[in-house]
């Protein structure tokens, strides 16, 4: 039986699930705009992005190039330079959200859910987004800063999101009953497999798993939201808004 103090939890991916673009990528681009990234390195990122946009290569290929460039850049940054870039990204993107996810956050707050944000983006930007939307706690990638500089070492939560989620659940003594997770990529699969209410806005790899498991699929396109649920072995459009 649920005690008066026990609360269910909901876990949200951020990039591409709440915010419409990738915060990690935007921080890197902003560092380049501010003159804190080698122009040749930034050109590598732009070239890789165009290959993906032309669908001549995969998003994961572009992302690997971006991460490589960022890892080479971080050791030359001051904490203030990264903070300035993160603040600029926050101001630009904080309200560029998916309507469904934004409204879901508001709905779950009325139901007394504990809200957790888990993101592979930098702690400096995720902390701002989590605070802005009233999350109870968050986890994000941490770049080690010691003796006045970034060392290049990092802790990336997207490598094991389930472990991070379990730690947050334990920390806040949340309960499994009514638990919910929403994500958009294969790195969110472990979260979605664990909760009672999995919701996806899936890319290709996640879509294959979502269809196999019968998870709810939400597709937001322009000013329309399409909600699909699996019924009697087939997905049906159950709601539009």
**Residue 47 counted as domain residue:** no
Angle of helix 59-74 versus helix 23-33 axis, rounded to 10: 50
Rounded to whole angstroms, how far apart are CA atoms 48 and 172?
41
At 12-31, the pLDDT tens digits run 999 999 999 999 999 999 99
Query: The CATH number of the domain where 125 resides is what?
Result: 3.40.50.1000
**Residue 84 counted as domain residue:** no
Predicted confidence (pLDDT) at residue 2 exceeds the cutoff of 70: no
What is the domain range of residue 122? 8-19+97-140+155-240
- Provide mean pLDDT across the span 166-185: 95
CA distances from 131 to 18, 90, 108, 126, 151 (A): 14, 11, 16, 8, 27
**Residue 57 counted as domain residue:** no
First to last CA, the chain: 35
What is the SS3 assignment for 138?
Answer: strand
**Residue 195 counted as domain residue:** yes
**Residue 24 counted as domain residue:** no
Ranges 94-98, 176-180, 204-208: which has the least confidence: 204-208
Average pLDDT score over the chain: 93
The predicted pLDDT at position 69 comes to 96
Predicted confidence (pLDDT) at residue 176 exceeds the cutoff of 50: yes
At 127-169, the pLDDT tens digits run 999 999 999 999 999 999 998 899 999 999 888 999 999 999 9
- Provide mean pLDDT across the span 46-68: 91
**Residue 222 counted as domain residue:** yes
**Residue 177 counted as domain residue:** yes
- The pTM (predicted TM-score) of the whole model is 0.91
The domain total for the chain is 1
**Residue 37 counted as domain residue:** no
The predicted pLDDT at position 4 comes to 47
């Amino acid at each position: 039986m649920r005690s008066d103090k026990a609360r269910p939890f909901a876990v949200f991916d951020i990039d591409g699930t709440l915010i419409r673009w990738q915060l990690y990528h935007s921080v890197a681009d902003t560092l380049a705009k501010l003159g804190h990234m080698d122009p040749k390195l930034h050109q590598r990122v732009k070239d890789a992005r165009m290959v993906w946009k032309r669908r001549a290569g995969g998003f994961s290929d572009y992302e690997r190039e971006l991460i490589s460039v960022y890892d080479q850049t971080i050791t030359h940054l001051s904490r203030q330079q990264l903070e300035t870039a993160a603040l600029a990204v926050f101001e630009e993107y904080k309200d560029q959200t998916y309507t469904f996810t934004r409204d879901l956050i508001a709905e779950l707050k009325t139901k007394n859910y504990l809200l957790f944000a888990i993101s592979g983006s930098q702690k400096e930007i995720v902390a701002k987004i989590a605070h802005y939307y009233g999350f109870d706690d968050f986890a994000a990638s941490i770049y080690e800063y010691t003796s006045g500089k970034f060392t290049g070492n990092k802790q990336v939560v997207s490598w094991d999101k389930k472990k991070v989620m379990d730690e947050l659940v334990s920390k806040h003594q949340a309960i499994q009953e009514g638990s919910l997770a929403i994500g958009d990529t294969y790195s969110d699969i472990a979260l979605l497999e664990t909760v009672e209410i999995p919701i996806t806005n899936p890319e290709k790899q996640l879509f294959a798993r979502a269809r196999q498991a019968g998870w709810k699929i939400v597709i937001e396109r322009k000013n329309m939201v399409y909600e699909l649920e699996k019924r009697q072995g087939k997905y049906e459009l159950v709601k539009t808004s």
